[in-house]
Amino acid sequence: MIKVGIYGAKTPGSPVLKQLLRLLLRHPDVDLRVVASPGGTGERLASIYPVYTGETELCLERRLDIEGLDILFVIDESNLPAGVAESVGAGADLRVVVLGEAPAMRASVPQGFVYGFAEYNRKALVRGATAAVSPSPTALLVETALFPLAKQWRLKGDVHGILKAPCDGTSDGTEALGALRAIMPDYEGTLTLKYAGEVPYERMDLELTLPLDMPVEDVVALYNDAYEDHNFVYLIDGAGGIDEDMRGSNKCLLQIYSDGKHLKINATADMMTRGNAGNAVHLMNLLFGLHERTGLSI
């Protein structure tokens, strides 16, 4: 069993913490040992989140004890303990995954950490990495939608996106553009995202428009090849957007089509799972050599 701890979250009722707890408490290979926060009051987690009554007797502690832990999930980069940060990459056995608010770490990934876009960095994560920072929710959605083009150096021209997401899931595209240029260094186009409000169920919906320089059937084939051996990204039929309740799922669904002049890509995912806690658990699975879908089969 993997001995797990959680530290952080601005408030005891954090939805990111709630979803991370849901996944870890029900993960078949996890032994959750400690949940702590700078604002911890010692209150039972089942009192803060009644849905977990009968699943855990842990309390939200103020003091973090990492003794005996195999991995620590840190919610928000501001809560990364100094001693833990210094141990990353220095031969320590403790693995670390940072999620939640982490703009500085995502903009300049610290030494010893891997940027946690697993569909691109899977090899790095399974071959000796000890720490990762999870992408922001909307950056991960954009990266997933464009990764196969960048991987094959077929990302061309400027990309325009319309994003519907919870307010704290919005993005100006800078993080995603940096990640795509790490995959395809000579990409010189721009990425602009227009925020267009929210959709139900904490979902993120994205519609991208970009130049079409190859038959759309070839684009679909390229995507199927890129994601054939991955476990959370799937192409579905259609062209009018994806209206699906994605709550609790770590999947990202894609539609690819053409309006005759442009390539269109629709993407949708759950912000709290795929965009936060689910991706963090996915990273843990890779760091410990587990199957990607372990504990994430919804």
Q: What is the mean pLDDT of residues 262-281?
A: 97
| Identity of residue 201 | Y
Ramachandran angles phi, psi of 25, nearest 5°: -65, -25
Same-domain status, 6 and 113: yes
- Going by pLDDT thresholds of 50, 70 and 90, the confidence category of residue 171 is confident
CATH value at residue 184: 3.30.360.10
Return the pLDDT at 88.
Answer: 85
Same-domain status, 206 and 279: no
| Identity of residue 187 | Y
Same-domain status, 124 and 162: no
Same-domain status, 127 and 243: no
Per-residue pLDDT tens digits for 177-234: 999 999 999 999 999 999 999 988 899 999 999 999 999 999 999 999 999 999 999 9
Q: Which domain holds residue 221?
A: 137-271
Considering the domain boundaries, does residue 210 fall inside one? yes
Q: Look at residues 245, 291, 230, 281 and name the one whose alpha carbon lies nearest to residue 26.
A: 281
Q: How many domains does the chain have?
A: 2
- Going by pLDDT thresholds of 50, 70 and 90, the confidence category of residue 12 is confident
CATH value at residue 16: 3.40.50.720
Same-domain status, 158 and 175: yes
Q: What is the mean pLDDT of residues 169-175?
A: 83
Considering the domain boundaries, does residue 74 fall inside one? yes
Q: Is the pLDDT assigned to residue 298 strictly greater than 90?
A: no
Q: What is the mean pLDDT of residues 29-43?
A: 95
Considering the domain boundaries, does residue 180 fall inside one? yes
- Residue 58 is encoded by which pair of tokens? 């842990």
- Cβ-based burial of 275 (10 A; exposed 0-12, middle 13-18, buried ≥19): buried
Same-domain status, 161 and 246: yes
Q: Is the pLDDT assigned to residue 138 strictly greater than 70?
A: yes
- Residue 152 is encoded by which pair of tokens? 């094959």
Q: What does the mean pLDDT of the chain come to?
A: 94
Same-domain status, 153 and 264: yes
Same-domain status, 121 and 221: no
- Going by pLDDT thresholds of 50, 70 and 90, the confidence category of residue 136 is very high
Same-domain status, 223 and 124: no
pTM: 0.96
Same-domain status, 147 and 122: no
- Cβ-based burial of 118 (10 A; exposed 0-12, middle 13-18, buried ≥19): buried
Q: Is the pLDDT assigned to residue 145 strictly greater than 90?
A: yes
Considering the domain boundaries, does residue 163 fall inside one? yes
Per-residue pLDDT tens digits for 74-116: 999 999 998 888 888 766 789 999 999 999 999 999 999 999 9
Return the pLDDT at 97.
Answer: 98
Same-domain status, 109 and 197: no
Q: Is the pLDDT assigned to residue 127 strictly greater than 90?
A: yes
Considering the domain boundaries, does residue 297 fall inside one? no
For residue 276, give the DSSP letter.
Answer: I
Q: Look at residues 241, 243, 239 and name the one whose alpha carbon lies nearest to residue 260.
A: 239
> What 3-state DSSP class applies to 279?
helix
Q: Is the pLDDT assigned to residue 153 strictly greater than 70?
A: yes
> What 3-state DSSP class applies to 71?
strand
Considering the domain boundaries, does residue 298 fall inside one? no
Same-domain status, 199 and 245: yes
Considering the domain boundaries, does residue 45 fall inside one? yes
Considering the domain boundaries, does residue 295 fall inside one? no
Asked whether 113 and 86 are in contact (CB, 8 A), the reply is no
